[in-house]
Structure 1
């Protein structure tokens, strides 16, 4: 018989840098899950992605064990990295602060494809392009 889930926690943590301090500690502590064990496992699985924010979905079971699923980094994080900028524009329609190529847009869309509500790469590119536009990042042909 399958274990009964008592909690589902969604967090966005820096890759390889999870600590028992907030937000991890309080989120898992309320379910009695082993916080230190989660941090060790998360850090081990994300060491190759240092510098990115990796969303994680943690399922906590009745016996206080847990399992987690790593998601792809947010499109905004991937776009900032590709455009080599620190943050998005405060006035995205007026002030463009960076640019990326269509090839970079396609790579980001391929990365995000598994977490998007489409399986078509062209539609995924449109979704990521909308995020880029809202951040003030221009797409160059």
Structure 2
């Protein structure tokens, strides 16, 4: 009998620092998944991305086994790292909290390209620029 997919769970976990505490434990617990096994495998695969928030899609099967896919970090996280700011602006129209260059935008777009529905790097950079604008981060040449 083949394994059947029971559910897919989406969580955001800090790379290399997953613990059985929420959000991982509360997401996986009701499905009977071995939380410790997930935490160990996730931390082993994300050691080089230590401290970066990573979206994870966990597929749980009927025999309580699982596999997971690690996505690229959210654009907002990458923009905060590039602009060296702790958080976005509360009022992005009036208060600017940092700046990024168009070259940094293109680098972020290349990182995010697999998860975006853009046809080219330029279109992906425009999408990332929109995220930067909504966070109060200015784009400069």
User: Is the TM-score greater than 0.5?
Assistant: yes
Partner of 2:58: 58
Any stretches of 5+ residues in structure 1 without a counterpart? none
Separation in 1, partners of 2:133, 2:85: 14
TM-align CA RMSD: 1.0
Separation in 1, partners of 2:59, 2:2: 13
- State the shift of 1:2 in Å: 4.5
Partner of 1:16: 16
SS of residue in 2 equivalent to 1:107: helix
Any stretches of 5+ residues in structure 2 without a counterpart? none
> Structure 1 residue runs of 4+, over 6 Å off?
none
- State the shift of 1:117 in Å: 1.2
- State the shift of 1:119 in Å: 3.1
Q: TM-score normalised to the size of structure 1? A: 0.97
Separation in 2, partners of 1:71, 1:2: 26
Separation in 2, partners of 1:122, 1:44: 34
Alignment pair present for 1:98 and 2:98? yes
- State the shift of 1:36 in Å: 0.2
Alignment of 1:36-55 (within 5 A): 36-55=36-55
